[in-house]
Amino acid sequence: MDRKLNLVRFVSVERMMRIIGACGIETALTALASCIEADFRRWELFDKTARVASHSPGGVIELMPTSDGAHYAFKYVNGHPGNTRDGRQTVTAFGVLSDVATGYPLLLSEMTILTALRTAATSALAALHLAPPGARCMALIGNGAQSEFQALAFKALLGVDRLRLYDIDPAASARCAANLAGYGFDITLCASAEAAMQGAEIVTTATADKASATILTDNMVGAGIHINAVGGDCPGKTELHPDILRRSAIFVEYPPQTRIEGEIQQLAPDHPVTELWRVVAGQHPGRHDPRQITLFDSVGFAIEDFSALRWLAQEAQRQREYDELDLLADPDEPRDLFGMLLRAQAAVA
């Protein structure tokens, strides 16, 4: 029997774009959020560890592993803000989903696009539980590669239809507005972060510089707002003044990682935070006061990538959108790997 144990399903960038195109991006974001929510509800089943990071002056390269006991997944991802100067992406990624019982990989996939989707889906899922009820207006500060995904995720899950855009590069805001034309948004281009905050019920900060910055100051944040802080995702990189944090109810993915990489690296190690999975699972009320400032200190966690790969494996199979890579050695006799080499050499002699 030809078992084809050497072959592993592979989703390329081209295949990924076809999959998302066939689904529709808002449908894909909604489905991803549903998968992430389901896995957050069984959070305690997963292996959890802060990502393994290799930092350099120009950026960071990270591995993000997890397992639920049946499947194992990891993502390789970089973050290099200076890459845009020579036409490269700030963030690129690929990932693997494997069968725990055999150790064999089931799927190898691009994750640059998939990470952008899962990051936005996680943000919107958090906002479902934390944002003011009925919030429709979002300030989007930092209009780089993540901005359109965030906007569409908040539209798909919360009905956000008004955007106030600001970026230090006006061309970035103009590009974002042009890309989102036709998606049903009322878009305002703003001249400053302060202007973008006017009338906003939700604010997403998604800047890229690997630096301790103050994108939002305390006087810019009024009562009742929800802050979705996406850009601070490594040591020394922040976006919010610490006084904002002290006034906010803070929700995080995995505290041991967020205390090193997130906005809360600016606070004492014992500053109280709530794990988002507890809110999703109904163990914590989330927002409980209309005047409360809620903050999702998002740095990205491996379980979200696991969820994304789990969704992709099913969707790629449904659409038959994958290639098969000859990735694993599969000798006729499992203990005779060297013999497989000998037979291959003889075949070309």
Six token digits for residue 307: 């969820």
Q: Is 186 helix (H, G, I), strand (E, B) or coil?
A: strand
**Nearest to residue 239, comparing CAs of 153, 297, 197?**
297
Active site (annotated) includes residue 233: yes
Cα distances (Å, whole numbers) of residue 49 to 31, 52, 62, 64: 25, 8, 12, 8
| Per annotation, catalytic residue among 47, 68, 167, 233 | 233
Cα distances (Å, whole numbers) of residue 172 to 142, 210, 328, 332: 8, 18, 43, 55
**Nearest to residue 151, comparing CAs of 13, 29, 237?**
29
Cα distances (Å, whole numbers) of residue 134 to 155, 202, 275, 328: 12, 11, 23, 51
Inter-axis angle of helices 25-41 and 112-130, nearest 10: 70
Q: What is the b/e burial string over 47-72, where b = at least 16 CB atoms within 10 angstroms of the residue's CB?
A: ebebbebeeeeebbebebbbbbeebb
Query: What sign does the CA torsion over 41, 42, 44, 48 have?
Result: negative
Give the C-alpha separation, 153 to 168, whole Å: 23
Give the C-alpha separation, 38 to 33, whole Å: 9
107: Cβ contacts below 8 Å, ≥ 6 apart: 8, 9, 10, 11, 96, 97, 309, 312, 313, 316, 322
Give the C-alpha separation, 171 to 224, whole Å: 31
CB 202 within 8 A of CB 141: no
* Positions marked active-site: 233
